[in-house]
Amino acid sequence: MSQKINGVKGMNDLLPGEIEVWQFVENTARTLFGRFGYGEVRTPMVEDTALFVRSVGEETDIVGKEMYTFEDKGGRSLSLRPEGTAPAARAYIEHSVSNVEPVSRWFYMGPMFRYERMKTGRYRQFSQIGAEAYGAKEPAQDAELMDVVVQFLEALGLTDVTLNINSLGDDNCRPAYHAKLVEYLNAHRDELCADCQQRLERNPLRVLDCKNEKCQAVAGAGPNVLEFLCEPCRTHFTDLQRKLGALGIRYVVNHRLVRGLDYYTRTVFEFIASHPALGTASTVGGGGRYDKMMKGLGGPDVPAVGFAMGLDRLVLLLKEGGKTFTAQPDLFIVAADVDAACQDAALALTSRLRREGFYVEFDTRGGSLKSQMKRADKSGARFSLVLGGDELRTGQAKLKPMAGGDLIPVALGSVAQTLRQAASQPSSPPSLKTRE
Ligand code: ATP
Ligand code: MG
């Protein structure tokens, strides 16, 4: 017997029945980003490894430990994208977009790859939705971006999510904070985990990001980055908070928030869910300002701010909410007779109603009346219609409301019209809609 081949560890299949909640999230995102004027960008899944090394940073977990890197047949070092900000920036620079428009606002969605230890909400192929705004250094841009996320979460019905914000300063004020932090952490070196002792040498800011409780306690009692901000950075941060207030967006200032990537300047933010289903993977998304990255990648001196949200975690939260996302058929057509004329007529009626915009089910295997009725029941269809010799002869049939109620007489030529009428009656559930 041949051996069964399984999918790759940490990479999931999404089958019909589960995909609908994903489509709901994706469609909601498309609608919202459109309203905010963000256009979709699609970049390849694979990039030159150097792109991530130079933007995300060699010392980060993502580049240091988690990247799927390989050599192609031409000897180039390529990597599966672990995140979407660097590829979008690369495309922005490559296509000289800043020459054409002063401000560009893009969003993307799709799979990212990181070789991580798997658990709930943490996979090796996962999906992100993200947005980037290029060309505006003003705090209004940071606020607008947070507003997209807030409205997106609202539209999904996810309310138990807290926005955390912080400022990391800039090249002018961060060095003083950095020096103080190193001094402090060195004094508490023995209390840090082995990873953090290494981080202390190479990238001390990352210690603030450690999930270990002891490290968090040490970091929490350490110097506060906000006390080191220079005047322009402080103004940027207070303006941002005023604007969030004007938008009615609730937030918490969290001076320990640094985020796992190297490229951030000034604003950083995270959206944290409190639902126990996510365990330690409670951050559903985050982002920040990266005013220096474009230049660092050989591009123009253009400021930027962006965020990314993990779809897998949003989907987990939505599933906890218990709503169903699968579509309900408007009608199930049952062919009462096994003869070819009846079967063909039922198939043709199904097709005609689908062309009219209805979701119609029909059992292509034929089978007994009883088995088809069973299937109609299971399908969750709002109505069923039995088509047999009598109906074909008289041109008259009956719509049966599957939830109970009187049969509705209908001429075979006007089933669509009757279905539409039934849908517009107040007693009908809202699911019976013609699709555009
Ligand atoms: P974490 O601290 O949870 O590892 P991160 O800082 O590495 O997150 P980002 O790089 O900021 O995550 O990515 C943005 C979002 O993408 C995260 O908030 C999370 O929702 C999602 N995400 C990141 N890594 C994974 C993963 N391996 N599986 C599923 N979702 C992920
Ligand atoms: Mg991570």
93 with 123, same domain: the answer is yes
304 with 359, same domain: the answer is no
Residues 64-89: what's their mean pLDDT?
Answer: 97
Counting ligands in written order, the one closest to the CA of 310 is 1
For residue 397, name the pLDDT band (cuts at 50, 70, 90).
very high
Please tell me the predicted confidence (pLDDT) of residue 263. Answer: 80
Q: What is the C-alpha to C-alpha distance for residues 35 and 31, in angstroms, rounded to an integer?
A: 6
Kindly state the tokens that stand for 336. Answer: 């009462």
For residue 428, name the pLDDT band (cuts at 50, 70, 90).
very low
| Axis-axis angle for helices 174-187, 194-202 (nearest 10) | 140
252 with 129, same domain: the answer is yes
267 with 355, same domain: the answer is no
Kindly state the tokens that stand for 108. Answer: 């993307």
Q: What is the C-alpha to C-alpha distance for residues 231 and 167, in angstroms, rounded to an integer?
A: 12
CB 309 within 8 A of CB 132: no
Could you give the C-alpha distances from 188 to 116, 183, 222, 224, in angstroms and in order?
Answer: 29, 9, 10, 16
Is 28 labeled as ligand-binding? no
Answer yes or no: is pLDDT of 135 > 90: yes
- Looking at 261, 291, 320, the residue that finishes a domain is 320
Chain-centroid distance of CA 302 in Å reads 26
Contact residues for 232 (Cβ-Cβ < 8 A; gap 6+): 170, 172
- Strand ranges for 84-220 from DSSP E: 104-113, 125-134, 161-167
**Ligand 2: distance of its center to the CA of 27 in Å?**
26
Read off the pLDDT of residues 325-365 as tens digits, 9 standing for 90 and up: 989 999 999 999 889 999 999 999 999 999 999 999 999 99
Site residues for ligand 1, CB cut-off 6 Å: 83, 114, 116, 121-123, 126, 128, 260, 281, 283-286, 308-310, 312-313
Could you tell me if residue 118 is inside a domain? yes
Please tell me the predicted confidence (pLDDT) of residue 190. Answer: 92
Q: Which amino acid is at 29?
A: A
Q: Whose CA is nearest to atom 23 of ligand 1?
A: 310
244 with 388, same domain: the answer is no
269: closest CA among 284, 291, 248, 247?
A: 284
Is 114 labeled as ligand-binding? yes
Instruction: List the CATH number of the domain containing 302.
Output: 3.30.930.10
Residues 105-131: what's their mean pLDDT?
Answer: 96
Read off the pLDDT of residues 163-195 as tens digits, 9 standing for 90 and up: 999 999 999 999 999 999 999 999 999 999 998
- Looking at 257, 292, 320, the residue that finishes a domain is 320
Q: Whose CA is nearest to atom 7 of ligand 1?
A: 260
Element (H, E) at 306: strand 304-310
348 with 301, same domain: the answer is no
Best residue among 67, 120, 128 to mutate for probing ligand 1's pocket (most ligand atoms within 8 Å of CB) is 128
259 with 400, same domain: the answer is no
Q: What is the C-alpha to C-alpha distance for residues 356 and 195, in angstroms, rounded to an integer?
A: 62
**Ligand 1: distance of its center to the CA of 285 in Å?**
7
309 with 402, same domain: the answer is no
Is 128 labeled as ligand-binding? yes
Please tell me the predicted confidence (pLDDT) of residue 280. Answer: 77
Counting ligands in written order, the one closest to the CA of 317 is 1
Q: Whose CA is nearest to atom 29 of ligand 1?
A: 122
Could you tell me if residue 10 is inside a domain? no
Is 191 labeled as ligand-binding? no
**Ligand 2: distance of its center to the CA of 62 in Å?**
7
Q: Among positive and negative, which fits the CA dihedral 164, 229, 217, 215?
A: positive
Q: What is the C-alpha to C-alpha distance for residues 149 and 38, in angstroms, rounded to an integer?
A: 13
Could you tell me if residue 13 is inside a domain? no
Could you give the C-alpha distances from 360 to 170, 281, 418, in angstroms and in order?
Answer: 59, 40, 14
pLDDT above 90: percentage of residues in the chain: 83
Of 1-10, 25-34, 426-435, the one with minimum mean pLDDT is 426-435
Is 108 labeled as ligand-binding? no
Please tell me the predicted confidence (pLDDT) of residue 391. Answer: 96
Atom of ligand 1 nearest to the CA of 282: 3
Please tell me the predicted confidence (pLDDT) of residue 436. Answer: 33
Range of the domain at 265: 19-173+229-320
For residue 426, name the pLDDT band (cuts at 50, 70, 90).
low
For residue 275, name the pLDDT band (cuts at 50, 70, 90).
confident
Read off the pLDDT of residues 213-262 as tens digits, 9 standing for 90 and up: 899 899 889 999 999 999 999 999 999 999 999 999 999 999 999 887 77
Q: What is the C-alpha to C-alpha distance for residues 55 and 45, in angstroms, rounded to an integer?
A: 17
Could you tell me if residue 215 is inside a domain? no
Element (H, E) at 21: helix 19-35
> Tokens 């990238």 label which residue?
203
Residues 10-35: what's their mean pLDDT?
Answer: 96
Backbone angles phi, psi at 371, to 5 degrees: -70, -35
Please tell me the predicted confidence (pLDDT) of residue 1. Answer: 73
Share the mean pLDDT of the chain: 93
Q: Which amino acid is at 370?
A: K
**Ligand 2: distance of its center to the CA of 270 in Å?**
13
Could you tell me if residue 202 is inside a domain? no
**Ligand 2: distance of its center to the CA of 61 in Å?**
7
344 with 310, same domain: the answer is no
Atom of ligand 1 nearest to the CA of 61: 7
Please tell me the predicted confidence (pLDDT) of residue 434. Answer: 35
Please tell me the predicted confidence (pLDDT) of residue 321. Answer: 86
Best residue among 63, 80, 126, 282 to mutate for probing ligand 1's pocket (most ligand atoms within 8 Å of CB) is 126
Could you tell me if residue 7 is inside a domain? no
Could you tell me if residue 66 is inside a domain? yes
303: closest CA among 22, 92, 47, 12?
A: 92
**Ligand 2: distance of its center to the CA of 260 in Å?**
7
Answer yes or no: is pLDDT of 423 > 80: no
